[in-house]
Chain A
Amino acid sequence: MFEENHKTYFETITVLDQDGAIVNESLMPDISDTDLLKAYKELLFARTADLQIVSYQRQGRIYTYPPNFGQEAVSGAAGVVMTDHDWLVPAFREMSAMLAKGVTLKEYFLFFMGYEDGSNFKNASRVLPISVPIASQLLHAAGIGYALRYQKEPGVVFTYVGDGGTSEGDFHEALNFAGVWKAPVVFTIQNNQYAISTSTRLQTASDSLAVKAMAYGIRVERVDGNDFLAMLKAYQEAVKCCNEHNGPVLIDAVTYRRGAHTTSDDPSRYRTKEEEDAWALKDPLRRLNLYLTAKGLWNDALEEETVIRFKGEIDAIFAEAETYDAYPKEDVFKYMYVEKPDELARQEQHYDAFLKWKEANESTINMSHS
């Protein structure tokens, strides 16, 4: 894989087809049955959590959320490959990789419940917070890659962007910088067919996103992003490629966002039910489930029982997140600078004075007007 070969620009690699059959034995990733089963359960956990968040959102218990539904295999496969040396520089649909890195589900919840504390990963190192400005994080990944090499540290950087994000200048600058520096970065495009309502067709006139790697002298693979085994193989090879100082590499992971863009989006405005149904058959978990079931490692009863157990665990973590402390006023000011400027301290004192006045006067004010 990742050979300097023009085939990689347009051909999509699949190992496990949509019926759960191995169609490309030579590209089987290196993974034991036990680890594969474990990986499947992790995907299932992430999916269950993702679907639960959408339902919490409908109940008004969490704010806007961008679902991962249907794309779990992409960052989930990275989760299996990443070591403690590696960095994760996510966009915002990489729950699986974040959890694999040690981000807790509670932290993930807290972020979408409106607390910055959800980006202060207590037990996870080398993970950057979720990045919302599209494609901007890719440049950080290139910089981290340079720093790793400079400091003679092991490790590679895993970073993510959407198909829409490939239109931003930052995408091209990041690939170019990483290419020039031979920085050990694995760029993955979560090519999920849409940027909100805009189909990939409208983002680029080229026939594939993978081909963009050519311009930057970067090796690339176009991978069926709904095929966990192909993604895993791609990441294993990508790390090898980086470590042999041939890095960076680009992976164009062809997938589908089965859910809405975010909980405020209505996909029926821009895509058909037929299209959604066709992609449902290619679902990554379904495929791996069929494969594991055929091997006798999994079955429907286990699936059902596991999902029920996960739901219980996830609900409990969510309930705990819901009891999280009130947002302390101090936290608004505390982290803006390492050394707080006097002016900011003055503003905080002024706010304190207001809070005091409010407490003393609130009862006398007829708030029906506001």
Chain B
Amino acid sequence: MKVMTMVNAINDALDVKLSEDQRIVVYGEDVGVEGGVFRVTEGLQQKYGAERVFDSPLAESGIVGTAVGMAIAGLRPVVEMQFCGFIYPAMNQLISHVTRMHNRSRGKYRVPMVIRMPYGGGINALEHHSESMEALFGHIPGLKVVVPSTPYDAKGLLISAIESDDPILFMEPKRIYRAIKQEVDEGRYALPLGKAKVVQEGTDVTVVAFGAMVREVQKAAELAKERGVSMEIIDLRSIYPIDRETIVNSVKKTSRIMTVSEGPSSFGIGAEISQIVLEDAFLYLDAPPTRVAGFDTIVPLPRGEHHYMQSPLKILYEVEQIVNY
């Protein structure tokens, strides 16, 4: 056991896999010499050499497209998009090839690759550095989308992602890259993909969140407790596939469902989850599903970002609405 931040834990996962699997290569903008702008790949080039861990030219389509070729030809690339806001030049590769090659070739070609990508707001960043576009990616058939909320989960989920034969988008909540320290097992361990986790049991309302929002929900739960409301918190951990069973079982107990996410509200994760609940637990509901999500707007620059971001108070407000419905 070792106390780690999420940055340390992801670095450790990469280290563990690089050391045991020669097929793995790690590349992207500034991941080599510098070890990534967030230092997630720090020390890996020194340890594994520039043939396995390297700086690529500045081109996201290039990074993702070449990874497809590598993966088809026997390697297992783990590439980095420097920020979620800069993956867009690679969308063509992601949608047209990464997620289609296996189906297109009727299983002949697999694309075992991982795209790591920091996402999310709350860090007072310039434009394009704060968005949370998980719904966009969850909507791409053929892609699995994973989001950890703790250092321990980050390591175990990334190891599973690297070991998976499907392409995976691994979204890293940069706001809590260093905010949470936790004991993390050394060596290899894997957590199942597609399984949510009940972070806190409760009786009055089920609140589903992921990434940096889990912590905000936990804070809100403390406030709610003082007001006599018991929240059950589910950390989704996987956007796609989504863990229907864990959500539905919880709602059958609490009779209320609320989601918290950073991305724009329309067509977002909240909509997907409420549909699942309506399909599988309709008769258990005491109130309509509620979502706390971003507005259908661009994330404002830092001075306006507080309007947009989810906060324990915003969550508490919605909790009060739903329990008093």
Q: Are A and B interaction partners?
A: yes
Chain A residues within 8 Å of B, Cβ to Cβ: 63-64, 111-116, 132-134, 164-165, 167-170, 195-198, 202-204, 264-265, 269-270, 326-327, 329, 331-333, 336, 341, 343-344, 347-348, 351, 354, 357-358, 362, 365-366, 369-370
A198 to B126, alpha carbons, bound, how many Å?
A: 21
* Residue B61 is within 8 A (CB to CB) of chain A in the complex: yes
Q: For the complex formed, measure the closest distance between the CB of B302 and the CB atoms of chain A, giving whole angstroms.
A: 3
- On whether the beta carbons of B296 and A132 are closer than 8 Å, the reply is no
Q: For the complex formed, measure the closest distance between the CB of B123 and the CB atoms of chain A, giving whole angstroms.
A: 9
Known: A347-B265, A351-B295, A370-B219. A64 touches B126 (CB 8 A): yes
Please name 30 pairs of A and B residues whose Cβ atoms are closer than 8 Å in the assembled complex, sorted by A: A64-B125, A112-B126, A115-B303, A116-B304, A134-B58, A164-B57, A165-B58, A167-B57, A168-B59, A169-B59, A169-B62, A170-B89, A195-B29, A198-B33, A198-B57, A202-B56, A329-B307, A331-B304, A332-B307, A332-B308, A333-B295, A341-B296, A347-B265, A347-B295, A354-B314, A357-B320, A365-B226, A369-B312, A370-B219, A370-B222
User: B214-253: contact bitstring with A at CB < 8 Å (1 yes, 0 no)?
Assistant: 0010011011001000000000000000000000000000
A362 to B312, alpha carbons, bound, how many Å?
A: 12
A369 to B316, alpha carbons, bound, how many Å?
A: 12
Contact of A197 among B55, B88, B129, B305 (CB under 8 A): B55
- On whether the beta carbons of B304 and A370 are closer than 8 Å, the reply is no
Contact of B219 among A167, A332, A362, A369 (CB under 8 A): A369
- On whether the beta carbons of A370 and B302 are closer than 8 Å, the reply is no
Q: Write out the residue numbers on chain B whose beta carbons fall within 8 Å of the beta carbon of A366.
A: 223, 226
A324 to B245, alpha carbons, bound, how many Å?
A: 50
A332 to B60, alpha carbons, bound, how many Å?
A: 29
A354 to B57, alpha carbons, bound, how many Å?
A: 46
Contact of A327 among B30, B266, B303 (CB under 8 A): B303
Residue of A nearest to B124 (CB): A63
Known: A167-B58, A167-B62. A370 touches B307 (CB 8 A): no
Q: Write out the residue numbers on chain A whose beta carbons fall within 8 Å of the beta carbon of B60.
A: 168
Known: A133-B86, A332-B308. A270 touches B300 (CB 8 A): no
* Residue B276 is within 8 A (CB to CB) of chain A in the complex: no
* Residue B127 is within 8 A (CB to CB) of chain A in the complex: yes
A187 to B61, alpha carbons, bound, how many Å?
A: 22
Q: Write out the residue numbers on chain B whose beta carbons fall within 8 Å of the beta carbon of A329.
A: 307
Q: Write out the residue numbers on chain A whose beta carbons fall within 8 Å of the beta carbon of B296.
A: 336, 341, 343-344, 347
Q: For the complex formed, measure the closest distance between the CB of A334 and the CB atoms of chain B, giving whole angstroms.
A: 10
- On whether the beta carbons of A114 and B301 are closer than 8 Å, the reply is yes
- On whether the beta carbons of A327 and B300 are closer than 8 Å, the reply is yes
A357 to B266, alpha carbons, bound, how many Å?
A: 24
* Residue B37 is within 8 A (CB to CB) of chain A in the complex: yes
Q: For the complex formed, measure the closest distance between the CB of A265 and the CB atoms of chain B, giving whole angstroms.
A: 8
Known: A198-B58, A269-B34. A133 touches B88 (CB 8 A): yes
Known: A357-B317, A370-B312. A348 touches B58 (CB 8 A): no
Q: Write out the residue numbers on chain B whose beta carbons fall within 8 Å of the beta carbon of A167.
A: 57-59, 62
- On whether the beta carbons of B317 and A168 are closer than 8 Å, the reply is no
User: B285-325: contact bitstring with A at CB < 8 Å (1 yes, 0 no)?
Assistant: 00000000001111011111101100111101100100000
> Which B residues from 163 to 217 make CB contacts under 8 A with A?
216
A27 to B324, alpha carbons, bound, how many Å?
A: 79
A370 to B221, alpha carbons, bound, how many Å?
A: 10
Residue of B nearest to A333 (CB): B297
A64 to B313, alpha carbons, bound, how many Å?
A: 28
- On whether the beta carbons of A332 and B304 are closer than 8 Å, the reply is yes
A168 to B85, alpha carbons, bound, how many Å?
A: 15
14 extra interchain contacts, Cβ-Cβ under 8 A, other than A63-B302, A198-B58, A370-B223?
A64-B125, A114-B301, A114-B303, A114-B305, A132-B126, A167-B58, A167-B62, A196-B34, A198-B57, A343-B266, A344-B295, A344-B296, A366-B226, A370-B222
Residue of B nearest to A328 (CB): B304
Known: A169-B59, A202-B57, A343-B296. A365 touches B223 (CB 8 A): yes
| In the A-B complex, the 10 residue pairs with the closest CB atoms | A114-B302, A197-B34, A167-B57, A370-B312, A164-B58, A369-B222, A327-B304, A114-B303, A370-B219, A327-B303
A367 to B225, alpha carbons, bound, how many Å?
A: 13
Q: For the complex formed, measure the closest distance between the CB of A305 and the CB atoms of chain B, giving whole angstroms.
A: 35
A123 to B218, alpha carbons, bound, how many Å?
A: 48
Residue of B nearest to A66 (CB): B126
Q: Write out the residue numbers on chain B whose beta carbons fall within 8 Å of the beta carbon of A341.
A: 296
Residue of A nearest to B313 (CB): A358
